Amino acid sequence: MSTEHLLFPFAEYAWLYGAVIALVLALLALDLGVFHRDAHAVSIREAAVWTVVWISLGVAVNVALWQYAHWAFPRDPRLLAIPGFDPAAAADRVGLEYLTGFLVEKALAVDNIFVFVVVFSYLAIPPRYQHRVLFYGILGALVFRSIFIAMGSVLLRYEAAVIFFGTLLILTGMKMLWVGDAKPAPERNPIVRLMRRFVPLSDGLREQRFLVRENGRWLATPLLIALVWIEATDIVFAVDSVPAIYALTREPLIVFASNIFAILGMRSLYFMLAGAVDRFHLLNYGLALVLVFVGVKMVWLNGAFGGKLPIEISLGVIALLIGSAMLMSVLFPKQPARREQSSA
């Protein structure tokens, strides 16, 4: 879609981007400055409440954007000049595209949760300090996601870039299918190895501080290692998740808003599901199939359907894949590893 045919061109809707950013910053300040000022272990009940709050907020933004589109599109002479433009249908598509992007990003965030569990376990980060690490991790993710989204809005105007990222999604999904639910090996993580080699480290935690000054030099604590590790992992995930949402919509505002409000609740989702991630041992296969589907959509299906696969079909396929993987995980629980019987 050309820039002049975007429903929300940046030049005209910069104020709306600004409003989203201002709302996010206010929510983050309220979160850390009021509700989580003191370090404490987040209970499952507290995490569940916050998960409902963040999801409700994301849905509220969806409804608000959909209603605004219904109000604004019939009054926009630029859009009305497009031959065959239907304001009501376009507004409905905005709502469905945001919802689909929000669902995809929420699902892909579960992969991050698996990494969080490994990181905190390997570095022995106590539960009371995990929220602080995740808060700054999410804050950094918002910055990097915004950069990726801005780059994607430019790159994905070119057919070669669309094919490249679509192929990348297909290959990533196939790799996930091959690897399955294998856990990452922390001792081989290049971020951990580089920091331990080149950055002076403290001999343990210093409460909730990332850096400490001892004997005249600055030392990194395990919290900083965890933060850098999480940040680097999210950048890798963003290479998949941002193109995946661009496969569903070419509107940068929808990609930005759905992505940002989906990852805002990642911390509470982690604290709620951290102890139950093994129950959904087949979810990675569902997520892999989602990536393969959106990759095929970018490379072939959109062209086969006259330029864009109907968003209703995309939403149905994605919901079916994720829901089926979760249901199958419950119906066929993971068998506990059998201990090897030593021979007498």
Sign of the alpha-carbon torsion through 254, 65, 294, 82: negative
Give pLDDT, residue 39.
Answer: 67
Q: Is the pLDDT of residue 3 over 60?
A: no
CA 79 to chain CA centroid, Å, is 31
Confidence bin at 72 (pLDDT 50/70/90): very high
Cα-Cα-Cα-Cα torsion 201, 206, 208, 213, nearest 10 degrees, comes to: -60
| Top-confidence range, 163-172, 201-210, 328-337 | 163-172
Give 32's contacts (C-beta < 8 A, 6+ positions apart): 135
The percentage of residues in the chain with a pLDDT greater than 90, rounded to a whole number, is: 21
Q: Which whole number is the average pLDDT over 302-308?
A: 74
Q: Is the pLDDT of residue 141 over 90?
A: no
Predicted confidence (pLDDT) per residue in 73-87, tens digit? 999 999 999 988 999
Predicted confidence (pLDDT) per residue in 228-241, tens digit? 888 888 887 787 78
CA angle 276, 186, 214 (to 5 degrees): 110
Give pLDDT, residue 168.
Answer: 86
Q: Is the pLDDT of residue 60 over 90?
A: yes
Q: Is the pLDDT of residue 214 over 70?
A: yes
Report the predicted TM-score, pTM, of the whole model to 2 decimal places.
Answer: 0.81
Residue 73 pairs in a beta bridge with none
Q: Which whole number is the average pLDDT over 254-278?
A: 83
Q: Is the pLDDT of residue 178 over 90?
A: no
Q: Is the pLDDT of residue 337 over 60?
A: no
Q: What are phi and psi of 145, to 5 degrees?
A: -65, -40
Mean pLDDT of the chain: 83
Predicted confidence (pLDDT) per residue in 111-133, tens digit? 777 778 778 887 888 888 888 88
Report d(CA 263, CA 110) in Å as an integer: 10
Give pLDDT, residue 315.
Answer: 84
Give pLDDT, residue 207.
Answer: 80
Residue for token pair 């929220």: 131
CA-nearest of 224, 220, 47 to 125 is 224
